[in-house]
Amino acid sequence: MRCDHCANDVPDGVFCTRCGADQGTTGELSRAKTRRHRYAAHPTEHVVQPSVFTTIFPHLGQQKIHEFRWAFAVGLAGILVLYVAGLVTAAILVAIFLVPVLYLIYLYEAQVYRDEPATVLGFTIGGGAVTGLVLTLIVRALYNPFPNVGNPLHNAGISVGALLFLGLTLPVLQEALKPLPALFLPKRSEFPETVDGLVFGIAAGLGFSVAESLVAISSALPALPAHVTPGNWIYDLATLAIFQPLLQSSATGMVVAAVWRYRRGRLARREAGGVAMAVIAHVAFALGTQLLNDVAIAQLFVLVWQAVVVGSLLIYVRYLLHHALLEEAAHMGYAETICPNCHMHIVASGFCPNCGMALTAAPAAVKRARKPVAAVKS
Ligand SMILES: [Zn+2]
Ligand SMILES: [Zn+2]
């Protein structure tokens, strides 16, 4: 059949395998083509949906996503158990490493690094961690606004200068430095897709987040006895385990993805907006957290604020990735393959004709197993 949107002859299906248009949509043509209701990396979701896993783990199919959600939930439950048992130090360490460890498993699962695991992991997670360690140590040596001992994540009553530094200067500085390791990745031409850039940026951001959090709490850890009566750490644990790593990783992911788009010759308003959004979200997160802590407002409001900022950032990442996938999946050639999302055996070019997933976001093993077919059977 002939696609109304890209005018190619394509096999029958709900989605056009060349341009990804949703043939099942009635009404406006633009709605079928931009298909905001069918997120290209995970077509059962809308683009505007603050879902964590289908955003920062874009290569995973339906079933794998569920496994990762479960693993994350189990990790959070483990942190809670350690906390209730009074093992606050252990709870803090698990909180810092939970998302980064899940991401390592994901990188292995999707083989995003293809044949270069050491180089890619070194330049993303490793490079991010080194950047985080060096920057955080230098900042603390030159300027330490935390004279009070005890819980170093709480600095009620800091000066306006310290507030501006922590809420404005430091986030901007971090957003400028965090993407660097991923941007200097050797053999970049082997990873041309924007979805690759996004994942590398996220990995670098997580490496940075681990190093930063470890330095931040290192002053408190030796002072804490092995068993502590659970105090007000529960909110900080939520920040450490969920919001801090998500903010640091998705902001850097977006910056690196925008640079990847630029290298493909497509820097438009959407990508420039992504970089601006990453910086604004980071400033809003840091400044808002400091201000709310400062006025000793209920800690729950700090978490609500962090969730709102991170949720908005994730939605912008999805918007950027969705359009990058729709544009970049167009010319893959016809091949027999199995869709990693709906598990149907398909003859497809860029998109699964059955569920509409962009096949550039398929795991490397699935891409390798593609068997090219010469003609379209229609
Ligand atoms: Zn089409
Ligand atoms: Zn499919």
The string of pLDDT tens digits covering residues 244-279 is 999 999 999 999 999 999 988 876 888 999 999 999
Pair (234, 150) in one structural domain = yes
Specify whether 31 is located in the same domain as 85: no
What is the mean pLDDT of the segment spanning 281-298? Answer: 86
For range 331-358, the mean pLDDT: 90
Check residue 293 and give its pLDDT.
78
Identify whether 278 is part of a domain: yes
Please report the pLDDT score of residue 1 as a whole number: 79
Domain that holds residue 222: 61-330
pLDDT in tens, 194-250: 999 999 999 999 999 999 999 988 877 777 766 666 667 888 899 999 999 999 999
On whether both 183 and 272 belong to a single domain, the answer is: yes
Ligand that lies nearest to the alpha carbon of residue 337, given by its number in the listed order: 2
Q: Is residue 150 part of a domain?
A: yes
pTM of structure: 0.92
pLDDT in tens, 350-378: 999 999 999 999 998 888 888 888 654 44
Ligand 1 centroid to Cα of residue 9, in Å, is: 8
One domain, residues 377 and 258? no
Strand bridging mode 345-348 / 371-372: unpaired
Tell me, yes or no, whether 28 and 73 share the same domain: no
Q: Which residue has the tokens 């971090």?
A: 174
Task: Decide if 219 is inside a domain.
Answer: yes
E strands, 169-255, are none
Q: Minimum-distance ligand to the CA of 22?
A: 1
Asked whether the beta carbons of 107 and 203 are under 8 A apart, the reply is: yes
Least confident of 54-58, 129-133, 291-295: 291-295
Q: Same domain, yes or no, for 16 and 29?
A: yes
358 CA to centre of ligand 2 in angstroms:
9
Sequence-distant (≥ 6) Cβ neighbours of residue 107 within 8 angstroms: 113, 120, 121, 199, 203
User: Would you state the pLDDT for residue 33?
Assistant: 82
Do both 361 and 239 map to the same domain?
A: no
Query: What tokens appear for 374 in the block?
Result: 């010469």
Nearest ligand to the C-alpha of residue 354?
2
Condensed to tens digits (0 to 9), the pLDDT of residues 14-58 reads 999 988 998 876 666 677 888 889 999 999 999 999 999 999 999
Binning the chain into helix, strand and coil, the percentages to the nearest 5 are 60, 5, 35
Q: How far is the CA of 57 from the centre of ligand 1 (A)?
A: 26
- Are residues 358 and 298 both part of a single domain? no
Tokens coding 327: 């544009």
Distance 191 CA to ligand 1 centre (A): 25
Residue 363: inside a domain, yes or no? yes
Distance of CA 236 to the CA centre of its chain: 21
**Helix axis angle, 170-177 relative to 269-294, nearest 10°?**
140
Same domain, 280 and 372: no
Distance 16 CA to ligand 2 centre (A): 12
Distance 316 CA to ligand 2 centre (A): 24
pLDDT, tens digit, 9 for 90 and up, residues 163-194: 888 889 999 999 999 999 999 998 888 888 99
Same domain, residue pair 226 and 355: no
3-state secondary structure of 121: helix
Total structural domains in the chain? 2
Report residue 156's pLDDT band, with 50, 70 and 90 as the boundaries.
low
CA distances (Å), origin 233, targets 150, 151, 237, 292 = 11, 8, 6, 16
- Computed on alpha carbons and rounded to an integer, the radius of gyration of the chain in Å comes to 22
The ligand whose atoms approach the alpha carbon of 340 most closely is 2
Rounded Cα distance, 241 and 235, in Å? 10
270 and 345 belong to one structural domain:
no
Q: Ligand 1 mean position to 378 CA, how many Å? A: 14
Percentage of the residues of the chain whose pLDDT score is greater than 70 = 90
- Contact by Cβ (8 Å): 156, 178: no
Query: What is the spatial distance between Cα 350 and Cα 328, in angstroms, rounded to a whole number?
Result: 8
Angle between helices 299-328 and 269-294 (to 10 degrees): 170
Q: Which ligand is nearest to the CA of 8?
A: 1
Q: For residue 53, is it within any domain?
A: no
Q: What percent of the chain is modeled with pLDDT above 90?
A: 57
